[in-house]
Amino acid sequence: MGYKCHVVALLLFVSGILASPLLKKDDDFTIRIVHTNDMHARFEETSKLSTACTPENSKAGKCYGGFARIATLVRQARAQGPTLFLNAGDTYQGTVWYNVYKWVAPAVFLNLLKPDAISLGNHEFDDGVEGLIPFLNNVTFPVVTSNLNLTLQPNLRNTKLENSTVLVVGDRKIGVIGYLTPETKILSTTEQVIFKDEVESIREEAEKLKGQGVDILIALGHSGYETDKKIAKEVEDIDLVIGGHTNTFLYKGTPPDSEVPEGYYPTAIIQKSGRKVYVVQAYAYTKYLGNFSVSFNASGEVTNIEGNPILVDSSVEQAEDVQAKIKEMRKPIDDLTTKEVGKTRVLLDGDSKNCRRKECNLGNLICDALIDYYASLYLAKDGWTDAAIAVQNSGSIRTSITRARENTVTRGDIIGVLPFGNVIQLISMTGEQILSMLEWSVYNLNNRTSTGNLFGAFLQYGGLQVEYDETRPQNSRVVSVQVQCANCSIPRYSELQRNATYKVLVNDFIAKGGDGFHMLEGLKATSLGVTTADVLEWYFKKHSPVHTGVEWRISYTCDKTDKCLKEMTVETQENQEIEENHENHRNHGTAYQVTDMMVLLPILLQLLII
C-alpha cells in the first residue's frame, strides 16, 4: 500500500512538472492566445447587434462586449498561465466616441488592456497619417505592419511602427509579424504610404526572424479571411495567422449566439510540404474574444491546438478601472448624442445593401443638403446657384436614421451616418469627366470587396438623373444623363453636354481620388470649410421634419416589368427590417467641428496621463 502511494505521488509530481510553463526547450511548450479584431470604438457595452446598448437593456443583462468585459477576460487568462493578447486592427472608427476623441480613445483604452502586440487596420488611416502618428507615439505596446514602404512618408518611420516584434515567454521566442490590406489605399487616406504584397513581405520578415533564432511565428494582420488563408498556405515558416477586416465568425460546434460560422475555429490550412498552419478571427465589435491554447515542439512546430471564441455577454463582469475611465470621459459623448437637430417623418435608409446598389433616400437627402447649403451662400443675381450637382460616395454613408424616439434626429445620428469628417469641395468638371465619374460609380456594380461587401464607390447624387445598363461591359454602362441647370431662373433638367463645364459639390475624400475616383485628382478644388455632417445638421434645422423619398434619380435599363420595379423600390419589407434593427442605433461616427475639439483639448491632454 505504501509503495502504491509513493508511485501515485511520484506520478502527480511528474505531471505537475509537465504542466508547468517553465519547460526546457526540448519539451512541448503550451501557451494560450486571446485575440480581438475590428473592435471599432465599441469601448462601451453594445446591443445584440453591436449598436448602442440602451439603459433598459443594460439593466436587464441583455448587452454584450465593451472594453471593460474584454479587460476582465484578458486578465483572467493571464492569471491562469502564459498568455498572449493580440489585436488585429481597426480599433478606430465606428461610434461617437471616435468622433469626439479621435486617436485618444483607442490609445487610452488599449493601454488599459495592455495587448502584447497589435497590427494596423485600414480605419487607422481614416484621419490620414497625421491622425495615426500621435496614436503610435502614445501607446505602450508594439504596433506591427510589415508590408508598408514608408520611404515617401518619413514621419511614419519615426514612430513605434515596426515590421515585427519578438515576444519572450519562458525560454521561447515568439515572432509576431504584422500586415495590412493594400485596399487601404482606396478605403482610407494613406497619403504617400506604399503598400507591398502581404505574402512576400511576411515571408521576408519570417526568414529574417528565423535567422535570429525565433522559431515560433505568428502573422497578425488586417486583410480578410481569404488573404489570411493565402498567407497560411504560402508562407512556409508561419505557424499561426490571426486576422481581421472581414469580421469573420469562426466556431467549432454549436455557436453560442446568432452569428453563423463561416468555418471552423481554428481553420486548418495544409501547405505543400504537408505542414498545417492555423487561421483564426474573432468576429468584431468586442462581441467575442478569440481564445485558443496551442502547443509547440522544440522545433517550433504546432503539436496541438484547441479552443473557441468566448461570447462576451453580460455574464462577464466589467473591469472597474475601465468602467471608471469610461465614466470619466462620457460627458462630451452625452452632450453630443442628445443634442436634437431636427425631425424626420420617414425612415432615412442608409443600409449598404441599398445605397451601394441603387438610389436611397438618405443619399438623396445628403446631396440635396449640399446643393441647398451652397445655394444659400450664392450671391450672384444671374440664377439660383452656379453648382446644381452634388455627389456622395455610398461608402461614406454608414447607417440609417430611423423614426424612433418620436422622429427626433440628434447630432449623434448624423455622426453615425457620416463618421469620416469629410470636408465639402467645389470642383469644375467637363461633361466628359462627369461621364467618367459615373462609369466608375458602376464599374464594380456586380463585384464584391474582399470583405464581401458591395463597393462603396457607387454614387448617390442630386442634380442628376442617370440611367445605367448593368448588362453592358464596364466603362460603357451609362445610357443617359440629365443635368439640373444652374444659373437659370427655373431649375429643370436637360441632357448632359460632354464639352460643357459644370460645378460639382463633392467630399474631399473622392476629390483626392478616394474609392478609385482618380479622374477627380488634380482638378482645381475650392474647400467650403464645412463637413458633410455639418451641412446635413444645418439642413435638418432648416427643413424639419424631412420626408425625402426615392425619385428615380438612378435607374437601370429594363422592361419596366413588375420584377424590375420591385427591384428598384426601396420601401420594401427589407427596409422594415432595417428600421427594426436600427431602432437603438444612435452611437456611430467621426465628423466633428473645430469648436468641438477646441473645447475638448484640455480633456484630451489630461487623458494621456494614464
- What pLDDT, on a 0 to 100 scale, did the predictor assign at position 284? 97
**Mean pLDDT confidence for 74-93:** 98
Quickly count helices (H) and strands (E) in the chain: 21, 27
**Mean pLDDT confidence for 376-397:** 93
Residue 312 makes CB contacts below 8 A (sequence gap 6+) with: 64, 65, 66, 69, 70, 73, 286, 287, 288, 289
- What pLDDT, on a 0 to 100 scale, did the predictor assign at position 20? 39
Distance from C-alpha of 303 to C-alpha of 296, rounded to nearest angstrom: 5
Contact 242, 49 (CB under 8 A): no
Nearest 10 degrees: CA dihedral of 90, 91, 97, 98?
-50
More confident residue, 495 or 335: 495
Question: What structural domains does the chain harbor?
Answer: 33-324 (3.60.21.10), 339-559 (3.90.780.10)
Average pLDDT, the chain: 89
- Is pLDDT of 423 > 80? yes
Q: How many residues does the chain have?
A: 610
Place of cell 468638371: 429
Distance from C-alpha of 223 to C-alpha of 244, rounded to nearest angstrom: 6
- Is pLDDT of 434 > 50? yes
Residue 589's pLDDT band, with cuts at 50, 70 and 90, is very low
Distance from C-alpha of 525 to C-alpha of 527, rounded to nearest angstrom: 6
Residue 585's pLDDT band, with cuts at 50, 70 and 90, is very low
- What pLDDT, on a 0 to 100 scale, did the predictor assign at position 382? 80
Contact 182, 195 (CB under 8 A): yes
Alpha helical stretches, state H, 212-358: 225-234, 320-329, 331-337, 352-355
3-state helix, strand, coil in the chain (%, to 5): 35, 25, 45
**Mean pLDDT confidence for 559-572:** 46
Residue 381's pLDDT band, with cuts at 50, 70 and 90, is confident
Q: Quote the cell numbers at residue 175.
A: 515572432
Distance from C-alpha of 191 to C-alpha of 48, rounded to nearest angstrom: 37
What confidence tens digit (pLDDT) does each residue in 65-78 have? 999 999 999 999 99
- What pLDDT, on a 0 to 100 scale, did the predictor assign at position 336? 84
**Mean pLDDT confidence for 236-249:** 97
What confidence tens digit (pLDDT) does each residue in 293-327 have? 999 999 999 999 999 999 999 999 999 999 999 99
Contact 512, 521 (CB under 8 A): yes
What confidence tens digit (pLDDT) does each residue in 499-524 have? 999 999 999 999 999 999 999 998 99
> What letter represents residue 309's amino acid?
P
- What pLDDT, on a 0 to 100 scale, did the predictor assign at position 26? 52
Distance from C-alpha of 348 to C-alpha of 418, rounded to nearest angstrom: 13
Beta-strand pair 389-393/501-507: parallel
- Is pLDDT of 578 > 60? no
- What pLDDT, on a 0 to 100 scale, did the predictor assign at position 308? 99
**Mean pLDDT confidence for 91-111:** 95
Contact 192, 49 (CB under 8 A): no
